[in-house]
Amino acid sequence: MRIVVTGGAGFIGGHLVERLQAIRRGQVLVLDNLHRECFSGWSLPDVTFARIDIRNRLAVREAMAGCDVVFHLAAQSNVMGAVADARYAFDTNVAGTFNVLEGAKAAGAKRFVFTSSREIYGEPARLPVVESSRPNPKNAYGVSKLAGEVYCGQAAVEGLETVILRLANVYGPRDRDRVIPLFVHAAQSGSPLVIYGGDQVLDFVWINTVVDAMLKAAFGAWVRDPVNIGSGQGTSIRELAESIVQLAGSNSPIQVIPKREAEVTRFVADVTVARKCLGLPPHAKPLAHLSHLISAPRGAIASAASQNCA
């Protein structure tokens, strides 16, 4: 089996590549432009790397020839980054997704797993959010991911088995520039933990759970409709900050400043479909793995926060 992972040098993609190599499901080809590299395990057996930008339609199509399964993670994956550069977000997340879908169809691939986002829902009317809720994205990132979903739906009509996974707030090793790694770095360096707004309630899900979901989506029975991937539980941003300060043994203050209008402030996923269709187990404590990110010496965490990426 030939497996393509776009964005395999990123946070989630790197963890997925490691797992694919460990379970030996086939030859893995990583396509990434190294825009935000945080994984470089290209010496792994059965893993090869090609530095390709998914905006390059011809290069993508050529590289994907003969692939059987595609995991599409390459994206502008940061909300504020997409707000700052909406053109890059469109070119990568919309046109790039179209290019990868076209490459998969031309290659005769059987299954295509697309990592979408909870951002497609915008500010929900009620919690938890079910997959049938009306999409109402609040920012350029959410709009771009929703457009990718639409193109996946069209590809499914044309015969490609597409699976859409709407990810909540994923956390784990090698992440950066998102709330948990930023808080950890601040706590271990004695800096303030900065909260925008202060009333956010979000759904945090451990990286291994997300990788489990992706593998089941790729190699299990075809799940035709979008699936929320989260813990199914809400965590207040204040509670998160306080937990990190306590676990780090830090004296860092928690600083609340005005909210950023582009950011969604409330989200908890309804994970009924994920449990039923993908067999994902319930999550007793969404932040149970938080201590794994704080157990390293302060210098090591600070170094990782400056070198690794989302």
Any idea which residues carry the catalytic annotation? 141
Spatial neighbors of 180 by CB under 8 A, at least 6 apart, are: 169, 171, 204, 240, 244, 290, 293
| Neighbour-count burial of 196, counting CB atoms closer than 10 A to its CB (0-12 exposed, 13-18 middle, 19+ buried) | middle
Are 71 and 126 in contact, with CB atoms under 8 Å apart? no
CA 222 to CA 243: how far, in whole Å? 39
What distance in Å separates the CA atoms of residue 163 and residue 143, rounded to the nearest whole number? 18
φ, ψ at 139 (rounded to 5°): -145, 170
Radius of gyration of the chain measured on its C-alpha atoms: 19
Would you call the peptide bond into 173 cis, given omega within 30 degrees of 0 as the criterion?
no
- DSSP for 171-198, please give it: E-TT--SSHHHHHHHHHHHT--EEEESS
